Amino acid sequence: MTKVVQFPVSPPQKLGPRKARRRKKPNLEDFGQLNMFDQLPDKTPIVSLPKAGSFFEEALELDEAGKPEAEKYYLLAIENDQSVEDSYCNLGIMKSGQGDLTKAIDYLTQCLKKNPRHFEAHYNLGNVYSDLGNLELAKIHYELSTQIEPEYPNSFYNLGLVLISMKRYKDAIQSINKFVELAPNTEHQVANELIKTLNAIAK
Amino acid sequence: MTRDKHPVLSEHFERLKELMPDVYAKHFREEKETKNQKLFRMLKHSLGVIEAVYLQNSDDFSLSKAEEYSKIIAELKELGYSYSGQPELMNLAAQFMIMKAKKPMEKAKGGIQQKKDDRKAM
């Protein structure tokens, strides 16, 4: 009797719609490739890259355009160790413009902590202290800025105004004369008028 | 003879009027005052309040308040009234106004400016 061998029959495939299923990702390391992006770190910083060369340059561009986002970029510049002292200095100016003079002093002194001979920080601190009515401190910072940058005329002008407020008219005349020496001709008229008045008072 | 016409009492009240003219003359003075004079008197009282606040705590008195105070006095003078003001406050206001003419802040340019300045014509 012949033996009936059963022919292996695979169950018929069901035709019709088929659901999309997530394919299992191949483990790249099985193929000899080091998988570097297996897991994202928990705190991935999302930072928009600066359009200009650095965060500081981007901040400066925004600042010059009067945009408040400049503050964020100055802080990023500090975080990324780019022009740290200048960023602190300009943050100080921004805060002073917003009327937050305490924070302005904080940023400007942070700048001086990094660079005690930062000319702009001393000059700007002079301005902040004169806004606060602290003429003694304003005078010290203006004087320091004239020592660091003896060719910058505005330090001498503002120092002159502080000396007028302190009623030290002769010293004020000297300081404003120095401003006239250094400043462009277009700025001489007001300063010369001031010197005339001071000469009349000092007599 | 009425009581207030008694010569001794009359004399006494006349003396009091001299000693405390504000108390005795107030009623008559206020009636004679023009509207502008009344306003000036009220303004002097208000300025007196500001001066008292300043004298009580001069540290908390901002420079801009001192400036406003001095502006009121300047306007009063322009209108022909005389009020000298509290000297310390006037001095403070003068300082503030002088310093308002100062040159602006200077931004740090992150070495960009310095690099440009370093270039010298050969």
Give the dihedral sign, CA A141/A164/A191/B70. Answer: positive
pTM score of the predicted model: 0.69
Nearest-by-Cβ selection for A158 from B102, B110, B111: B102
Residue A169 contacts B, CB cutoff 8 Å: no
Give the dihedral sign, CA B52/B56/B61/B66. Answer: positive
Give chain B positions within 8 Å (CB) of A82.
110
Which ipTM value was assigned to this complex?
Answer: 0.72
Question: Span B16-29, mean pLDDT?
Answer: 70
For chain A, how long is the longest CA-to-CA vector?
A: 145
Give the Cα separation of A181 and A155 in Å (integer).
13
pLDDT tens per residue across span B58-113? 887 888 888 889 999 989 989 999 888 899 999 888 888 899 999 999 999 987 54
pLDDT band at residue A14 using 50, 70 and 90 as cut-offs: low
For A156, the closest chain B residue by CA position comes to B103
Question: Span A155-172, mean pLDDT?
Answer: 95
Q: Cα A102 to chain center, whole Å? A: 17
How is residue B67 written in tokens? Answer: 């400036």
Distance from CA of A114 to the nearest CA of B (A): 14
Distance from CA of A37 to the nearest CA of B (A): 37
Query: Is the pLDDT at B14 greater than 50, yes or no?
Result: yes
Residue B58 pLDDT: 84
Residue A38 pLDDT: 61
pLDDT band at residue B117 using 50, 70 and 90 as cut-offs: very low
Residue A156 contacts B, CB cutoff 8 Å: no
Residue A9 pLDDT: 63
Q: Among residues A129, A183, A130, which one has the least CA distance to residue A161?
A: A130
pLDDT band at residue B1 using 50, 70 and 90 as cut-offs: very low
| Mean model confidence pLDDT for chain B | 80
Residue B19 pLDDT: 78
Residues 6+ apart with CB under 8 A from A78: A84, A87, A88
Residue A120 contacts B, CB cutoff 8 Å: yes
pLDDT band at residue A12 using 50, 70 and 90 as cut-offs: low
Using a CB cutoff of 8 Å and minimum separation of 24, what contacts does A141-147 make?
A: A145/A119
Nearest-by-Cβ selection for B108 from A82, A97, A120: A120
Domain boundaries defined on chain B: 3-100
Q: Which of residues 72-111 of B touch A (CB under 8 A)?
A: 92, 94-96, 98-99, 101-111
The answer to whether B95 contacts A135, with C-beta atoms less than 8 Å apart, is yes
Query: Is the pLDDT at B121 greater than 50, yes or no?
Result: no
Alpha helices of chain A — where are they, by DSSP H? 55-64, 70-79, 84-97, 101-114, 119-131, 135-148, 153-165, 169-182, 188-202
Count, in order, helices (H) and strands (E) of chain B: 6, 0
End-to-end CA distance of chain A, in Å?
145
Give chain A positions within 8 Å (CB) of B63.
131-133
The answer to whether B106 contacts A154, with C-beta atoms less than 8 Å apart, is yes
How is residue B40 written in tokens? Answer: 């000036």
Nearest-by-Cβ selection for B95 from A57, A86, A165: A165
Give the Cα separation of A6 and A25 in Å (integer).
39
Residue B113 pLDDT: 46
Q: Which of residues 56-75 of A touch B (CB under 8 A)?
A: 56-57, 60, 63-64
Give the dihedral sign, CA B42/B48/B54/B57. Answer: negative
Residue in B105, B107, B109 to test binding to A, most A beta-carbons within 10 Å? B105
pLDDT tens per residue across span B28-45? 666 678 888 889 989 999
Residue A146 contacts B, CB cutoff 8 Å: no
Distance from CA of A44 to the nearest CA of B (A): 29
The answer to whether A83 contacts B94, with C-beta atoms less than 8 Å apart, is no
Residue B7 pLDDT: 77
